[in-house]
């Protein structure tokens, strides 16, 4: 259990365990913008060129709904779909599975991650939340994956769904990470 179950009353929420922590792993095929989303969340900036093979884990202190949380983000860099998943399956308290709305291939690739991750999370108590993210909505002109298809895939796997862009506003990128944290708190 990564997150203390919170006991809620009308005025304050009292966490029973400290410190609150949340480990978020970012998954998806190469080039969908995992690093761009991670860096945007951490720095508010869009970095357009990022080493495609670099996998790293970053830490940040966040306040989500007035409550502090220590967030770690693992920006993965798989070259051949979901392999060596052991490195994050047990570690993660939430999964962000990313595709690019301008790449049908990336949408197919993300389904392998959905399969691998949900197969694992199904057995967990509490179940770790999975969020499906369609990135690069600024590339609307080149869209290959409809919002309907993204949303249908998400509901098939019982996960939340968001479309976003790493190069547009910071708040919508922050929102998906904060939603992941809220989902972990709800578990
Ligand atoms: P990763 O392999 O999933 O980590 O992908 P990167 O974050 O390295 O991004 C791959 C490429 O897509 C880079 O050229 C980024 O500049 C670009 N990119 C990432 N996110 C976006 C986005 O939201 N919109 C656009 N237009 N390009 C993006
Ligand atoms: Mg990357």
Q: Which atom of ligand 1 is nearest to the CA of 48?
A: 16
pLDDT beyond 70 at 9: no
**pTM given for the model:** 0.90
Is the shortest distance between the CB of 100 and ligand 1 below 6 Å?
no
Q: What share of the chain is helix, strand, coil (3-state, %, to 5)?
A: 35, 25, 40
Q: In this structure, what DSSP letter does residue 129 have?
A: P
Chain centroid, CA 105 distance in Å: 19
For a ligand 1 pocket test, name from 26, 36, 103 the mutation site with the most ligand atoms within 8 angstroms of its C-beta: 36
- Average pLDDT score over residue span 160-176: 97
ipTM for the predicted complex comes to: 0.99
Per-residue pLDDT band at 16 (split at 50, 70, 90): low
Is the shortest distance between the CB of 168 and ligand 1 below 6 Å?
no
- CA–centroid distance, 143 to ligand 1, in Å, is 15
For a pLDDT cut of 70, what percent of the chain falls above it? 90
- Average pLDDT score over residue span 2-13: 50
pLDDT value at residue 128: 93
pLDDT in tens, 90-137: 999 999 999 999 999 999 999 999 999 999 998 888 889 999 999 999
- CA–centroid distance, 133 to ligand 2, in Å, is 15
Length of the chain: 187
End-to-end Cα, the chain, rounded Å: 9
- CA–centroid distance, 61 to ligand 1, in Å, is 25
Is the shortest distance between the CB of 6 and ligand 1 below 6 Å?
no
- CA–centroid distance, 118 to ligand 2, in Å, is 22
Per-residue pLDDT band at 85 (split at 50, 70, 90): very high
pLDDT beyond 80 at 4: no
pLDDT value at residue 18: 53
């Amino acid at each position: 259990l990564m997150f203390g179950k919170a006991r809620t009353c009308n005025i304050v929420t009292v966490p029973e365990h400290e410190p609150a922590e949340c480990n978020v792993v970012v998954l998806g095929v190469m080039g969908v913008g995992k690093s761009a989303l991670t860096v945007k969340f951490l720095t508010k900036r869009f970095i357009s060129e990022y080493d495609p093979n670099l996998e790293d884990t970053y830490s940040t202190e966040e306040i989500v709904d007035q409550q502090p949380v220590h967030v770690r983000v693992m920006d993965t860099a798989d070259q051949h779909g979901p392999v060596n998943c052991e490195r994050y399956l047990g570690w993660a308290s939430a999964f962000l599975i990313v595709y690019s709305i301008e790449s049908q291939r990336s949408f197919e690739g993300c389904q392998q991650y959905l399969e691998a991750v949900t197969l694992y999370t199904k057995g967990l108590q509490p179940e770790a939340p999975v969020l499906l993210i369609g990135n690069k909505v600024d590339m609307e002109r080149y869209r290959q994956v409809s919002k309907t298809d993204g949303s249908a895939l998400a509901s098939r796997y019982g996960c939340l769904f968001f479309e976003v862009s790493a190069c547009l506003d910071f708040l919508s990128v922050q929102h998906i990470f904060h939603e992941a944290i809220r989902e972990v708190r709800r578990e």
